[in-house]
Amino acid sequence: MTVDYPLLARQLAALLDTRDWLTNSAQTVAFLMQEIPELNWAGFYLQREPETLCLGPFQGKPACHPIPFGKGVCGAAARTRQTQRIDDVHAVADHIACDADSRSELVVPIVVQDRLWGVLDLDSPRRGRFSTDDQAGIEALVAVFAARTDLEQAH
């Protein structure tokens, strides 16, 4: 399924007209859930305490909280600061199953001034939902969010 990510990036930039992290993160996950097909969960986890991910604004079923950096796909993204693109979460030994419908997952780390601010986590009920093109497109959307938001302020 092809998504026009450059178009979504322009729309997201127009939508994010505050600098506030809470408003912008809530708007961003609602936008992604509307515009990217085949998602069952989209949300932010924030590093509010050292080495721990705290559940932030999200769309989908109630989710796991907190997630230590040592655990799961989100923890791996936070620890390594590398995007995690998982075709089949059932094949990941320490995957944390929040919604039993989730089959593939993409987690993008958000780093500000060499500090891990948090991660964006997207889940899909379809195995192999996220291609490398989707990864690049979604990383570009995260870059729009980060550029249009004050992420240095306390959260």
Which residue stretches of 61-120 are H helix?
A: 72-80
* Nearer to ligand SME (CB atom), residue 5 or residue 58: 58
Q: How far is the CB of 118 from ligand SME (least distance, A)?
A: 12
Residues paired with 124 in a beta bridge? 104
Asked if omega into 6 is within 30° of 0 (cis), the reply is no
Interface with ligand SME (CB under 6 A), residue from 63, 111, 140, 146? 63
Please give the residue whose beta carbon sits closest to ligand SME in the complex. 72
Chain centre distance of CA 52 = 15
Residues 86-105 contacting ligand SME, CB under 6 A: 95-96, 98, 102, 105
Q: How far is the CB of 43 from ligand SME (least distance, A)?
A: 6
Which residue stretches of the chain are H helix?
A: 5-15, 21-35, 72-80, 132-147
* Nearer to ligand SME (CB atom), residue 71 or residue 155: 71
CB neighbour list of residue 87: distance below 8 Å, 6 or more residues apart: 104, 127, 128, 130
If one asks whether residue 57 binds ligand SME (CB under 6 A), the answer comes out as no
Q: How far is the CB of 42 from ligand SME (least distance, A)?
A: 9
Q: How far is the CB of 107 from ligand SME (least distance, A)?
A: 7
CB burial string 84-102: b at 16+ within 10 A, e below: bbbbebeeeeebeebeeeb
If one asks whether residue 121 binds ligand SME (CB under 6 A), the answer comes out as yes
Interface with ligand SME (CB under 6 A), residue from 5, 31, 41, 117? 41
